[in-house]
Structure 1
Amino acid sequence: MAPAAAAGLPPATPRLQPLRGLLPYVGRYRGRVALALLFLLLAAGAMLALPPTVKLLVDGGLTQPTAGAPDERLAAIRQHFLLLFGVSLLLGLATAARYYMVSWIGERVTTDLRQAVYAHVLRQSPQFFETLKTGEVLSRLSADATVIHHAVGSSVSMGLRNLVLLLGGLTMLLTTTPRLMLSVAGIIVLVVLPAVLIARRVRKLSRASQDRLADTGGIAGEVLNAVGVVQSYGREAAEAERFGRANEEAFAASMRRTGTRSALTAFVIIGVFASLLYGMYGGVSAVLAGEISAGQLSQTALYVMVVAGSVAVLAEVWGDLLRAAGATERLMELLAAHSPIADPARPVSLAEPGGGLPLGFSQVQFAYPSRPTAQVLHGLELRIPAGQTVALVGPSGAGKTTIFQLLQRFYDVAGGAIQVDGVDLRRLSLAELRRRIAVVPQEAVIFSGSIADNIAYGRPGASPDEIRAAAGAAFVDDFVRRLPEGYDTFVGERGLRLSGGQRQRIAIARAMLKNAPLLLLDEATSSLDAESERVVQAALEIAMAGRTTIVIAHRLATVQRADRIIVLDHGRVVEDGTHTLLVAKDGLYARLAALQFAA
């Protein structure tokens, strides 16, 4: 299945005109677009004014006899050269102004589009990323945006300018030498029709080339994010070979596009030049027959050069625009993706809690959208009072992590309901719901930046004193004091400069600083050594005070002090009680405990 289709994106439509999707972004800057068009028309007008000026020079100053002295004749010629310089001055200034304006528009539109796509992707549910690789999204944000920038900031302007020159040049040729150009026009039509058919092929190949390039980005992003695992298993050569195959496919797709585009360019240039040279031959014959002057022939020759040059540029621009259409289509697919998780039309507000947050699960049914036939939760019934610490225990696949994802509304239940403080969480805005939840995941997520930045991620407006207070409660201060730069220490990408225990303590400090009434702990100590686990466990006990806390743990020693232990199996609650009570029942929990403690 294609990545776009698998991610729920609309399929590519060959007859669609994707570049229209850029109009709302260009339309925000109508004033600058108008200025760019004005300068474009001035530059094109100056270029079209050059041939008549040369005609005046040839007929009025060079080929016509002058009764005056040579100095007077030279003065007359000088006037014509001054006129030529004035036209070229206007051409240079208007071209420079046009270039600046269209470059600004290209940069601004690309920046706005990249921002819109990135912000939209961030709002997508995890379902969106189940089938679309992160690397492919990054490829669309970088490679595709670069293609669009080139088109908007250069190709469109060059295309419009040369289109004006083409139409203006043909109009002047038809006006000055109509008999010649009418025959040439018929030949040009025969060139254009096959070119349109070739251009359609270029567009399809451009889209395929961008898709293959995105595949390489997806592979690279996936492997580089797990380079330690790749190296530990000695898979460097195999992964390099896999990337190489995708890279070669991208190269082959690019060369197919380039070959077809080159054929299109050659066909258009040769065809148009041949037809215009035919017109020039007729012009020379007319001069020899005395039907037109040498100045008229010079004017015709220059217009032929203008028209031929415009056609050559338009052929290149056409290829650029076809490639940009494919890139735009891919970005518009991302913007057209709609997350199934959205704010309700009339969200309900919750009262600010004084302590924890009561939760309720009523006959909850759920299966992941990517696996609709594999039911994960089967009529789950569960009540958690405010301020209670509950541990979720059970074999892998029992539904523990799914409960966390449903509580944060990454997915919606297929049946039943989840209540937060007595309100169905689907009636709450996503911002209000998630503001009341703090999470400490199994693998602490650390962003590139300082330690203080990472702790403050839980509450961006926190003061330095509040950050240090949370850090002290999470025992982060113990190791930060030993760092030369303290809380300003740069932690590296994904916190690679820190140990696992240090990263986990920072994640706990982040959750403490957020001070949410509901705390979710997902295997928060499972990957730590005994020393780190002791420190992190002490920090967690401080974090849990006064909050509703749900703990996922396979290591039963971690959850023995919980108020309740909920044992899940195949998406159902099979046991509920304290550690002592559940061991006495001699059920699933007792068997899990016996296995671990025996080990």
Structure 2
Amino acid sequence: MAYFDLPENHSGSISNRLSSEALSNQELLGARLGVICEAMATLGFGILLGFVFSWELTLIVFAYIICMFLLAFFQIRWQARLNKCSEHILGQASALATEVLHNMRTVKQLSIEYEILQQFSHLVNQAFTVRRNDTVISGLLLSICWGSQPFFLYILYWIVLVRLESNEMHDKDTLMVFAFVTFAFETLRFINTLTRQMGSSLSAARGFFDLFDRTPTIDNGSVDGRQLENFQGQIEFNQVEFSYPSRPTIRVLNKFQLTIEPGQWVALV
């Protein structure tokens, strides 16, 4: 029960996570994962083939590929971080909307519609700001990736021409290396277009693993603790105070006192 008392585990937040994270994992584990594996296998085979014909040019291309993969890795981590922040904000908005719908009459009687609307609008604006930053950063990284390829090809052409003039390379080897470069660039473009989806799926998968690996505060199977030797079945509540973690300032029980004798039936409503 303590799990659902936390603000991030409100029914609205859980519903929002189930609707978004399950879809993100399904998108990654479907046909898209097979296409990514196929592209990576093609890239690996092309690198091996390039080393056979011209290891010098292949090393240059391989260094550029490593830089692009590091850029894609940074974008995936950035996307996963933004998704976590965005999901937290949207979860709060969903929790607020769910609570208002369940207590609509109370909200109307207290005349706090405007305050609730202001809170919800503030959360929506926060989510918009996060997504706007995501769009700007993702567009900048994608432009760096796509815009750097023509400059790299220009440098590669210049190196090849210099080596051809000095008879350090053959025409056939040059054609094979450029065929490998073409396949490598297509693979990089394909992977870079999926970095946002991969970041979302990574964040969703991490949320599922955190939930599965969570250790409950109360262990039902534990035998540690105080054991009652002379238990007669009498239950006594003496000056009990209780409040929910999500609303610590509101006391549900204030100096509650009750004695239940053995065999006595008591209903708490």
Superposed pair shares fold, TM > 0.5 = yes
Q: Is the 8 A contact 1:216 1:247 kept in 2?
A: yes
Q: Is the 8 A contact 1:159 1:317 kept in 2?
A: no
The structure 1 residue matched to 2:192, chosen from 315, 336, 340, is: 315
- Residues matched between the structures, number: 253
The CA deviation at 1:250 is 0.7
Distance 1:259 1:364, change over 3 A: same
Q: Is the 8 A contact 2:80 2:200 kept in 1?
A: yes
Distance 1:307 1:385, change over 3 A: same
Distance 1:361 1:317 in 2: 60
Is residue 2:36 matched to residue 1:162?
A: no
Distance 1:381 1:203, change over 3 A: closer
The CA deviation at 1:324 is 2.4
Distance 1:161 1:278, change over 3 A: farther
The structure 1 residue matched to 2:5, chosen from 125, 130, 151, is: 130
Q: Is the 8 A contact 2:235 2:260 kept in 1?
A: yes
Task: Give the RMSD, CA atoms, in angstroms.
Answer: 3.9
Match of residue 51 from structure 2: 174
Query: 1:172 is aligned with what amino acid?
Result: L
The CA deviation at 1:235 is 4.8
Is residue 2:208 matched to residue 1:334?
A: no
Instruction: Give the SS at the match of 1:382.
Output: strand
What are the within-5 Å matches in structure 2 for residues 81-480 of structure 1?
Answer: 125=1, 127-132=2-7, 133-190=10-67, 192=69, 196=73, 200-231=77-108, 235-236=112-113, 238-272=115-149, 274-280=151-157, 282=159, 291-293=170-172, 297=175, 299-344=176-221, 360-362=234-236, 366-368=240-242, 370=245, 382-386=259-263
Distance 1:283 1:314 in 2: 27
Distance 2:255 2:109 in 1: 40
Which structure carries more relative contact order (alpha carbon 8 Å, separation 6+)?
Answer: 2
* TM-score normalised over the length of structure 2: 0.72
The CA deviation at 1:380 is 5.5
Query: 2:3 is aligned with what amino acid?
Result: F
Point out where structure 2 has 5 or more consecutive residues left out of the alignment.
Answer: 224-231
Distance 1:252 1:167, change over 3 A: same
Instruction: Give the SS at the match of 2:194.
Output: helix
Higher helix share goes to which structure? 2
Distance 1:284 1:225 in 2: 73
Q: Is the 8 A contact 2:58 2:177 kept in 1?
A: no
The CA deviation at 1:179 is 3.6
Query: 2:135 is aligned with what amino acid?
Result: T
Match of residue 227 from structure 2: none
Distance 1:364 1:235 in 2: 37
The CA deviation at 1:196 is 4.9
* TM-score normalised over the length of structure 1: 0.36
The CA deviation at 1:168 is 1.7
The CA deviation at 1:241 is 3.8
Distance 1:273 1:217 in 2: 46
Instruction: Give the SS at the match of 1:160.
Output: helix
The CA deviation at 1:145 is 2.1
